[in-house]
Structure 1
């Protein structure tokens, strides 16, 4: 089953799949040793779980997916009317957005465990014809028997359109999740994506973005904060295909106890994509001698007149800054928490909605609280 999972979750030829999963093979092998049954798409959602995603700002603009299937019972799109249509064709959910939506929309993926390990998968195609949309994607789950979820999504952003995507995965230790996000941007289209990865037995995000039209722009922000034996693997693949395209990538990672984080950021500037501007920054903190973070920035340029910069670091808390805070009377645990929280919050600065930004910052705190001394 391990080879089958690798083939199912991987991209490209066999060698490319092997290479992209080399830091996560042990986690994948552990999953392969389990037998999974189909998850119950009609599972009841307890109130304690619903409160995790019932944000007042997204009521009546929410799609809820239960164990891989869109739930009419829990979804509500009353406030967006004809601007948003959701249908199903050949096992793929198709979402079409045509027009500016003033308030955020929300897509919630809920995983409900069965009596024994279970799995679900879902395919989504989203087209943003024009306008400006803020989309909050949230993955929540109950702890229990293991759940393995797989989500594949294709997003096409039309000429001049903009998508602000905020993705939150706050998972219990029993949940594993694979996500493939494939985004295509037309001329002058913009994607501003912020990903927050917290907890989980294994989280894997494959995000591939094609800047296909002139002056298309990507801003990618992300953070993973891991404790215990949590495992998060992020693979970014950005391709500049057209002239005068821009990508600005800023990711942060924190690993404590025996957690492991992986970040692979690849930027390719294709032949003819002159005038492209590409930046990638990845900084990471190790809070325990047993934690591990692997980072790999990759930059390939086949065009002229290009601006490009990339860098990655893995380090520990700055002891001088820690000493400064302690000399001001701040206890050690509080000083460490302040520094780690500030390090993580940097990626949230691009979220213009203050309430949403503060909510995400609050969810980060339990994952950095009590950091190893």
Structure 2
């Protein structure tokens, strides 16, 4: 396998635009975030220009920390929570944002006065885990990001696989339950309605709504009786403290995660699966039920390897780190990774 030239050693700015937060960081060539900035993502109904304005704000905030002589050469990468076209210039559709056929790259380049590399947020996170995290050295990798929804990415022979139209890896919107829960994408029964942060908060609110001792541990973790204040973090923190209701919720979400993974693994045959995103903070309380369900439902089980399901190492910074590294390398999809096959 040929080895590409080394990427420039200077800093890069990475931005991760999700359904809940716009996160950005100044990232060095080793994947270390040296400075951060973030904003709350506005409501889904907010105009595209509002979200783009927040991206410009955080990038400019970080660039102020770079010496003037270096500032003009700092590349910017953006990972967007949506379907990004094959040319990586437009967000075709964003389930959790108002972007519809939005020329995001050109808009940001005009406002920032510098080149911008655009990609899907899950692709950015997957690239980070492949370069610096749990997926290092794995040539055939699937990465899932569990946040508001489920993002996904595929690497084969160390290359990101974007598909013919740039839309590969949207695992979260495969229909797992026909006629099931409605999804913001417009369909019903999508995987992300059962195995994401949204699923965790829905189940937690149901537990609190019932009242009584079943929700006591969860209430003590932070939200009290305020149903609107429940987050996935409340659930996994309560579960780590031994709360049986929270552990039951995580196990249920984990089983749904494993059910969907069986289809992904059966289709793509990866060597490793890495699970990241905010929900993955639950660790083995979430992943052990997923691993058990995957092993018990994968087609050909008992006669084929079951890939390890690993927790991502880079945590909520993965999208930022990956977007920055994609910007620094400009187009890693056209070059093999420096990591060897295994």
Q: Same fold (TM over 0.5)?
A: no
Q: Which has the higher strand share?
A: 1
Give the TM-score of the pair, scaled to structure 2: 0.25
Q: Which has the higher helix share?
A: 2
Which structure exhibits the higher relative contact order, with contacts defined as CA atoms closer than 8 Å and separated by 6 or more residues?
Answer: 2
